Copies of this chain bind each other. A is one copy, B any other.
């Protein structure tokens, strides 16, 4: 087990080095970069579709889509109007900095102001791998239940913003918002949250404003 720990530590420090390299690529190009994480099916791709449609043409953006298999997500981001590239991890349960580095090498970043990286659907492993982005965003989803902060603290602890998606389902599922928010507040005091519904569009404006301001701040 000790050997395992040493190897894992080595992988993580290599990852941090490449993440720093990615950050330099973003900074030199004047690009703001987001790492978007969530469980499978929480709405990462739907949120990206809305974001792309509302930000273009003011902000040109690129999407890097991570999945175990398939091109479904990159196809959806591209259809919405973004420059998109799919990373198939082939079994790996998270994106790492090297995968993102390879994807950046294949993208023409000219004119791009915002890069959204859609991580693999997973509420555990992505939290351990820095990608070099400026901010990490987690999407929680109402039908996942209100106990997720308590059960997956690592993910809630490390993010800079929290989208609470599928609020249109609140009438149909048991979800105690106060209990949920209490768990979030313990792990990540003062975390900015965006309750919204990608299905109905409710609450999307605040999210779009935030990401727009973040991107602008990079280019002042």
Interface residues, chain A, CB within 8 Å of chain B?
A: 3-4, 7, 11, 39-41, 67-70, 72-73, 91, 93, 120-125, 128, 141, 143-145, 147-148, 150-154, 166, 168-169, 172-174, 199
CB distance B151 to A68 under 8 Å?
yes
CA gap between A143 and B38 in the complex, in Å: 14
Q: Note all chain B residues with C-beta closer than 8 A to A145.
A: 41
CA gap between A187 and B152 in the complex, in Å: 29
Seed contacts A91-B128, A121-B123, A121-B152; 13 additional CB < 8 Å A-B pairs: A4-B7, A68-B152, A69-B150, A69-B151, A69-B152, A70-B150, A91-B154, A120-B124, A121-B151, A122-B123, A143-B143, A169-B169, A174-B199
CA gap between A143 and B64 in the complex, in Å: 24
Query: How far apart are A69's CB and chain B's nearest CB, in angstroms?
Result: 5
CB distance B3 to A151 under 8 Å?
no
Residue A173 contacts which of B73, B154, B199 (CB distance < 8 angstroms)? B199
